[in-house]
A and B are shown apart, each in its own frame.
Chain A
Amino acid sequence: MNNNRIAAHESFELHELITFKNVCATKSSVMAGLVKDEELKALLNQELNTSQEHIRELQDLIQLSAFAFEDTTRTEDALRHQN
């Protein structure tokens, strides 16, 4: 198990960046629909595309974190309790 690739402090920062980029991508996609100005719309769409790429990249990295290998049965249990 290669769980020492991404350390704890890196994981936290990656997590922060992922949440931030998620909000950015969501907002860009919504705002692009509301904007009338073509140049601004193009810029928002460009940001949306690069954001998606970055999110995927960061997600792949955070999978290498020590925390990503923790017991996932707990979350499955929690989900089962909800239903």
Chain B
Amino acid sequence: MDITKKSINQIKRPMNNDYLEIENADGMPGLVDSTIALDFLLSVKSAIRNSAMALTEMADQEARKAVHSLLDNSINLHAELTDLMIKKGWLHPYDVNQQFQLDKVSTQTALQIASLQLFKGDTSRLGTFATPNY
């Protein structure tokens, strides 16, 4: 079974607390990669907005050049990342219906992860180390 090739919208089974079980971890690498890619895309988008806003405040020639190159780089990176995500099926800009289906699956997954009990019991680190000041 090639789990890395599984597309994110194929994951329909509810999340299980026993995520170390191979069966429950089905499609996990694709899920992680697509989520990280989406987070990366949001960062790049913010970088473009932030640097464009900053550029409007620049008066010094050298500062303007620096921020301009940052903006240029961000735009190029955005193009590369968008292409990659479209190729991998993590983003569907030309098919709104499919994008909404993907959003629906992502929402369900996010809610399922949120309801998982990831940390069992007390997570306080007090007492684990010598902490004389507490």
Q: Which A residues are within 8 Å of any B CB, using their own CB?
A: 5-7, 9-10, 12-14, 16-17, 20-21, 24, 27-28, 31, 34-37, 39-40, 43-44, 46-47, 50, 54, 57-58, 61, 64
Decide if B66 touches A54 in the complex (CB within 8 Å): yes
What's the nearest-Cβ distance from chain A to residue B15, in Å?
A: 18
Q: Which B residues are within 8 Å of any A CB, using their own CB?
A: 4, 29, 32-33, 36-37, 39-40, 43-44, 46-47, 50-51, 53-54, 57-60, 62-63, 66-67, 69-70, 73, 77, 80-81, 84, 88
Query: Cα distance A72–B24 when bound, in Å?
Result: 56
Decide if A36 touches B60 in the complex (CB within 8 Å): no
Contacts of B58 in A (CB 8 A): 10, 13
Contacts of B62 in A (CB 8 A): 61
Decide if A14 touches B54 in the complex (CB within 8 Å): yes
Decide if B33 touches A35 in the complex (CB within 8 Å): yes
